[in-house]
Structure 1
Amino acid sequence: MPSKAGFLEHPIRSLITCFVSWKTLLLLIATCSPGQGYDTSTSLLLSSHDPTGAPPLPVALHYLVSKLTRWDAIYYVRVANRGYLFEQEWAFGWGFTSLINLCTAILLKAGIPHYHGLEGLVAVCIAHTAHLLSVLVLFKLTAAVFPSSSSTPGLALTASLLHIISPAGLFLSSPFAESSCALLSFLGCYLFTKSVRSGGQPTIGHDLLVFASGVVFGLATTLRSNGIFNGLLLLEEALRNLFYFRSGPPLVKIRRLVATGLGGLCVGAGFLLPQYIAYSEYCTQTSVQSRPWCEKTLPSIYTFVQEHYWNVGPFRYWTLSNVPLFLLATPMLLIMTISGVWALSYESAITPGSLRAKKAPSAGPEAEAFPVLRNLAVTQILLTLLTFTTAHVQIITRISSAYPIWMWFLAMSFRKGNSSYANSAVRIIVMYGIIQAGLLASFLPPA
């Protein structure tokens, strides 16, 4: 194991080494987990008796994919294989199923045989690749949000290591959209942060970056609906530029506002496009009986199927039988709430495009953080509140993987020597990740 100095000297190599080690451990636990579990959905999905006559995957790959294709992953793989057929399938990200389908088509064009279950293997590869890339992008994002600090390399490395052992655990290795959503969320935040100029007026290059961040956030939203919260960064930027119109609309502010507005439209499109596709299929066909959600003022198949098929809604999950799931989610609910409040109270009261460090160079990283820190804190708190009151609360352990504030909070705790709380949090996360790998692979709850 490399020394601390070795980690800092070669951070990317160190992150890749730790990533491979952690993934290997989780996959070993998954492959050694007993039986198919109490649900036969995976075995039916990957059955060797394929009606199209496609050959099955090689035995080792078939076994690995069968251990990772559980719960929601079954929907993703099935839809990627034959498209959306049943209404409830629209609860699962159109963007991720399209990505699996696209990558599978590229492999087939390259001459790879169309094995039965190939979509599952492709999805597993996408999940691993996206998780690794999200770790590396988080490293760059942390350095961008906390610039010019002597502790930045160690802070960025620690935060990225925390993302490797994220409580999402095996969900980031399986055919789920979480790792891809995390990658695009971090990348969008990085592009947005780089678009904020630390001195002077933003250039056209900076405006293109803020627009690009909106495009990336829009793609993240097609993967998971909570990706739309990233749009709050662009909304704040738009309002900030409108504020300067009081003294007349300077050209540079108009340009910035247009770029931000176009980026915001891309975020909205990421949510609305799948809804439009579903609306065209269910609500405009005269030969098909119209569904109840088609008559809504704002027809959304996603919100309908979540409510109708999964009973998602305010306080619907608050039942006695779900108390164990609330207890399971409690550590991450607390970590995300505490870290969100920490970021809101962070000493970073800075104006757009300037750093407080300019006024107080010795103030340290607390004074150098970009305004993105506070905005992401609001997003994280909103997500935590929404999950606690409305959603299936246990999913907080996996959707938290796309929100960097709690990782920065724990990383900063380690860097400042306040490691007691951080050590306890990491122990819980690691223990949960190991136990969860065995449960998920055995098709046992929670999920």
Structure 2
Amino acid sequence: MSLPASFSLPSSLSRMSLPSRWRDEALAHPTRTIVFASLALRCLTSLLLLLIFSLVPSFDASAATLSHAVSPYLQPFVRWDTVYFVNIALEGYTHEQRAAFMPGLPGLMRAGGEGIRWLRGGKGVASGDDVVLVGMAATAVATSAAAVVLHRLTVRLFPRQPAFALTTACLFLLAPGRPTLHAVPYTEPFAALFTFLGMLLFYKNRDVLAAVVWALGTTMRAQGVVLGVGFFGWKWVLRRTWDGTLSGRFQRFATGVPIFAALSFLSSLPFLAFQRYVYTLFCSDPSSLRPWCTQGLGFSYGWIQSEYWDVGLFRYWTILQLPNFLLAAPVLALSLAASHSFYRSTFAFTLRSTLPFLPLSLAPPRPSRKSNPSSPLTHPSSPSAALALIPLIHLHTLLTLLLLTTAHVQIILRVCVTNPVFWWYAAELVCSTEGGKKRWGRRWVGYCVVWGTVATGLWAVFLPPA
């Protein structure tokens, strides 16, 4: 299959040394290209982890103490949060701090480990090796699937940009947090997969399925609450109420709110159920109640994050954490630049769409700037295209600011994979025909290649960031 003669590749692809036939094949068969690239990067990252682990002693081997030992060849894959996932998979939630991690990935690892045990004849118990190998295999599938779904989401929202969509997926695979995306059992690949798939279903107006998919994602990371409330609130409360005639506004609001509440509850259900489960584990004995048992709704999540990981507004803003802010700076800068560029080019339209109840004098409905085919994110092709992107931009901006002000800022190096706007803006830089943006695109690709390799080495010897 060849491309139409009128189709032109972006400069980022046309400058490649690959033969023209290979470029055409990549664009003609994007899914195959994406899966191959994902598996190739996983093999390279895993081999690099093993090589560095065999040559350099771990900085803190004691921190990797597991309930059940794993083989030496698997030890470099068990670092940081993976230690918790393996221990939960083998023992359950025996310690309070483990409740900071949702049960989806540990449960999947344990189920797969039991399957391996059954294949061995049902003897003994699932071992550390079993659950780690299952986690690695599952995340390999999730990473490839997430990249494919991101490509399809991009095609859905930018239908006349096939090269832009493929570039987006390839840049996603080059994410700076390479070990957590391409080697070890971690939740980010699953969070990305379910986030992107739910968004794709949402934009296909299949809201119940979107809520179910986001609920599945919430079993991995507590994200369904934000996604459900944000997207369904935008559609069923804000836009449904204000789109249309003034006379039917109250009726639309009254009928939209119950739908919003039901869909949001569905996407949040695993989080709520897990909080209830944790409450029964640690708050059943009146003589040993934990502080969070009697606070608010009795949810453990926020209290544990604050108590054990020092998460809170500006609590990470100390001189000692300056190196982590510097490590996160490239990703933070790109994230903030994406928000700024979109809001700058569509300010009046975005303000009017987000706050339609404002007086016209405060938010006049001025048209957005002209569209730019080489900047499909920041200069949308039409008002309808811009309107579809606004909730995604708002979510992107909110999450970036939360990571900057409240969380361990360096985790943005790995959680950025769950944010499609981030990758669309990176792809816009890479595919741009403007000299300045093009240079920044090349710099971003170079940064991802270099830092991804460095991050793999740091992971192998148990050094931050993680």
Unaligned runs of 5+ in 1: 49-61, 196-208, 353-360
Quick one: which of 430, 433, 445 aligns to 2:449? Answer: 430
Quick one: which of 348, 359, 380 aligns to 2:396? Answer: 380
Counterpart amino acid of residue 148 in structure 2? L
> Residue in 1 aligned with 2:270?
270
Partners of 2:57 and 2:135 in 1: CA distance: 22
> Residue in 1 aligned with 2:151?
139
| 1:318-333 alignment runs, 5 A limit | 318-333=317-332
Percentage of pairs with the same residue: 29
Counterpart amino acid of residue 136 in structure 1? V
2:58 match: secondary structure = coil
> Residue in 2 aligned with 1:233?
231
* TM-score (norm. length: structure 2): 0.81
Describe the shift of the 1:296–1:153 C-alpha distance in structure 2 as closer, same or farther (beyond 3 A).
same
> Residue in 1 aligned with 2:164?
155
Partners of 1:63 and 1:373 in 2: CA distance: 47
| 1:82-101 alignment runs, 5 A limit | 82-101=91-110
| 1:251-262 alignment runs, 5 A limit | 259-262=259-262
> Residue in 1 aligned with 2:417?
401
Describe the shift of the 1:252–1:106 C-alpha distance in structure 2 as closer, same or farther (beyond 3 A).
farther
Partners of 1:383 and 1:112 in 2: CA distance: 47
1:446 match: secondary structure = coil
Counterpart amino acid of residue 81 in structure 2? D
Partners of 1:247 and 1:221 in 2: CA distance: 39
| Contact 1:233–1:372 under 8 Å retained in 2 | no
Is 1:214 aligned with 2:202? no
1:402 CA drift (Å): 0.1
| Contact 1:212–1:263 under 8 Å retained in 2 | no
Partners of 2:262 and 2:212 in 1: CA distance: 9
Partners of 2:155 and 2:255 in 1: CA distance: 27
Counterpart amino acid of residue 266 in structure 1? L
Between stretches 113-122 and 408-417, larger displacement belongs to: 113-122
> Residue in 2 aligned with 1:356?
none
Partners of 1:261 and 1:191 in 2: CA distance: 18
> Residue in 2 aligned with 1:444?
463
| 1:293-442 alignment runs, 5 A limit | 293-345=292-344, 365=376, 366-368=380-382, 369=385, 371-417=387-433, 418-442=437-461
Partners of 1:224 and 1:110 in 2: CA distance: 30
Describe the shift of the 1:337–1:276 C-alpha distance in structure 2 as closer, same or farther (beyond 3 A).
same
1:193 CA drift (Å): 0.9
| Contact 2:66–2:86 under 8 Å retained in 1 | no
Between stretches 431-440 and 253-262, larger displacement belongs to: 253-262
| 1:19-30 alignment runs, 5 A limit | 19-30=38-49
Cα deviations across residues 315-369 of structure 1 (Å, max 9, x unaligned)?
11111111111100011111111112233445595989xxxxxxxx997552253
2:314 match: secondary structure = coil
Over the residues paired in the alignment, what is the CA RMSD in angstroms?
A: 2.8
Is 1:10 aligned with 2:66? no
Describe the shift of the 1:6–1:29 C-alpha distance in structure 2 as closer, same or farther (beyond 3 A).
same
Quick one: which of 80, 94, 100 aligns to 2:89? Answer: 80
2:219 match: secondary structure = helix
* TM-score (norm. length: structure 1): 0.84
Partners of 1:144 and 1:29 in 2: CA distance: 36
Partners of 1:297 and 1:24 in 2: CA distance: 47
Between stretches 300-309 and 179-188, larger displacement belongs to: 300-309
Is 1:176 aligned with 2:186? yes
Partners of 2:207 and 2:419 in 1: CA distance: 19
Describe the shift of the 1:362–1:392 C-alpha distance in structure 2 as closer, same or farther (beyond 3 A).
closer
Between stretches 160-169 and 107-116, larger displacement belongs to: 107-116
1:188 CA drift (Å): 0.5
Between stretches 238-247 and 394-403, larger displacement belongs to: 238-247
| Contact 1:314–1:389 under 8 Å retained in 2 | yes
> Residue in 1 aligned with 2:61?
39
Partners of 1:330 and 1:68 in 2: CA distance: 26
Partners of 1:245 and 1:129 in 2: CA distance: 47
Describe the shift of the 1:220–1:313 C-alpha distance in structure 2 as closer, same or farther (beyond 3 A).
same
> Residue in 2 aligned with 1:289?
288
Counterpart amino acid of residue 234 in structure 1? F
Partners of 2:371 and 2:440 in 1: CA distance: 27
> Residue in 1 aligned with 2:357?
none
1:247 match: secondary structure = coil
Partners of 1:168 and 1:74 in 2: CA distance: 18
Cα deviations across residues 386-429 of structure 1 (Å, max 9, x unaligned)?
11111111101011110010111121223332311111112112
